[in-house]
């Protein structure tokens, strides 16, 4: 007998609900690429309803009972966020708002309150959407992804985690367990900007996160990350290199535009053309950097 969600028929799958992390890792090890992990389900289930998600798996592993991966902690010089932490929890966290406020800002602009109450940061990253809103702030912070399996774990830089739309570095026996975020230098300033077709309930057309540290009117540190302008969320390393050591003035920021345009690789879709995304990538990046230079 087939199961139905909305008007779409879904072939039967075997449902698993491990009670803890050890059981979850064992299930993943046993099932390998025949299973799909379910976190909040805010992307997967609507995709089923639309008929845009193919069931290329036989087993569904529901992670909702794995409480060990639901946390936000400050440990020495890092903030650690469990992969199953709800987006609403991140938005409201005093630790996040104090140390990495642009992550809270980015999350606050994601979907609806209902989506943020259900969705998880791990799900947002593992979907590997080029427009994933949590990715640019985390890339700017130099975050790492802690990947676990039944036989071990490894930490990878988040700028290596994404391989393409819907594709990550995760092996079939691994899961994203934690995001590790170095606490940024107190002297730097941050900005996050998102362009969408409306103010809420929308995917990004372009999103930009920036961090800048200026000493004696010179850029001593700068990081720029963008979403929805390349096959993966993008860290603009060449543009950063161009600006380091330059005087922190509008003319030099404008001159970095040529480098930035070479780094982005946008596509045209129903939300915007590739040319528009290129133009707005630079416009938003310039605004974000200038905002970092403003004294509050």
Ranges of H-type helices in the chain: 21-31, 44-50, 87-92, 94-99, 101-108, 113-118, 121-126, 135-140, 158-161, 237-243, 250-255, 257-263, 274-293
Cβ atoms 158, 137 nearer than 8 A: no
- Kindly tell me if the per-residue pLDDT of 41 is higher than 80: no
Q: What is the mean pLDDT of residues 216-232?
A: 96
- Please say whether the structural domain 3-61 has been given the CATH code 3.30.43.10: yes
CATH code linked to domain 204-293? 3.30.390.50
Q: Is 171 left (phi over 0), alpha (psi -120 to 50) or beta?
A: beta
pLDDT at 4: 47
| The model scores a pTM over 0.85 | yes
pLDDT at 5: 47
CA–CA gap between residue 164 and residue 59 (Å, rounded):
24
| Residues 133, 139, 144, 147, CA torsion sign | positive
Stronger pLDDT, 6 or 227, i.e. the higher one? 227
pLDDT at 158: 98
Structure tokens of 199?
A: 């103010």
Domain boundaries defined on the chain: 3-61, 69-182, 204-293
User: Predicted confidence band at 49 (pLDDT cuts at 50, 70, 90)?
Assistant: low
CA–CA gap between residue 274 and residue 137 (Å, rounded):
23
User: Predicted confidence band at 70 (pLDDT cuts at 50, 70, 90)?
Assistant: very high
Q: For 245, how many CA atoms within 13 A lie in the half-sphere containing its CB? A: 2
- Please say whether the structural domain 69-182 has been given the CATH code 1.20.1300.10: no
**DSSP letter, residue 18:** -
pLDDT digits (tens, 9 = 90+) for 158-214: 999 999 999 999 999 999 999 999 998 888 999 999 998 755 556 789 999 999 999
- Kindly tell me if the per-residue pLDDT of 296 is higher than 60: no
Stronger pLDDT, 112 or 83, i.e. the higher one? 83
Least confident of 227-231, 268-272, 282-286: 268-272
Main-chain dihedrals φ then ψ at residue 277, nearest 5 degrees:
-65, -40
Among the listed residues 132, 63, 121, 135, the one whose alpha carbon sits nearest the alpha carbon of residue 88:
121
Residue in the block written with tokens 């010089």? 77
pLDDT at 203: 77
Q: What is the mean pLDDT of residues 38-52?
A: 71
pLDDT at 7: 53
pLDDT digits (tens, 9 = 90+) for 102-155: 999 999 988 778 888 889 999 999 999 999 999 999 999 999 999 999 999 999
Within 10 Å of residue 42's Cβ, how many Cβ atoms? 21
């Amino acid at each position: 007998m087939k199961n139905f969600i909305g008007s779409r028929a879904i072939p039967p799958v075997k449902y698993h609900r491990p009670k803890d992390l050890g059981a979850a890792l064992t299930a993943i090890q046993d099932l390998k690429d025949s299973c799909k992990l379910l976190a909040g389900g805010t992307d997967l289930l609507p995709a089923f309803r639309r008929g845009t998600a193919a069931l290329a798996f036989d087993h569904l592993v529901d992670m909702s009972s794995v409480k060990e991966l639901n946390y936000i902690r400050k440990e020495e010089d890092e903030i650690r966020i469990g992969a199953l932490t709800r987006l609403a929890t991140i938005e409201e966290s005093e630790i996040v708002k104090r140390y990495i406020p642009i992550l809270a800002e980015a999350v606050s602009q994601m979907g609806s309150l209902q989506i943020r109450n259900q969705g998880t940061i791990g799900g947002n990253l593992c979907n590997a959407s080029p427009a994933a809103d949590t990715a640019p702030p985390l890339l700017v912070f130099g975050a790492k992804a802690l990947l676990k399996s039944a036989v071990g774990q490894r930490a990878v830089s988040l700028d290596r985690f994404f391989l393409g739309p819907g594709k990550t570095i995760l092996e079939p026996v691994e899961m994203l367990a934690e995001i590790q975020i170095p606490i940024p230098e107190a002297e730097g300033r941050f900005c996050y900007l998102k362009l969408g077709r409306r103010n809420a309930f929308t995917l990004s057309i372009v999103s930009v996160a920036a961090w800048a540290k200026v000493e004696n009117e010179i850029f001593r540190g700068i990081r720029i990350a963008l979403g929805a302008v390349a096959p993966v969320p993008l860290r603009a390393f060449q543009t950063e290199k161009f600006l380091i050591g330059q005087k922190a003035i509008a003319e030099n920021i404008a001159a970095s535009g040529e480098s930035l345009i070479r780094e982005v690789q946008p596509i045209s879709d129903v939300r915007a053309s590739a040319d528009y995304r290129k133009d707005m990538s630079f416009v938003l990046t310039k605004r974000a950097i200038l905002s970092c230079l403003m004294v509050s």
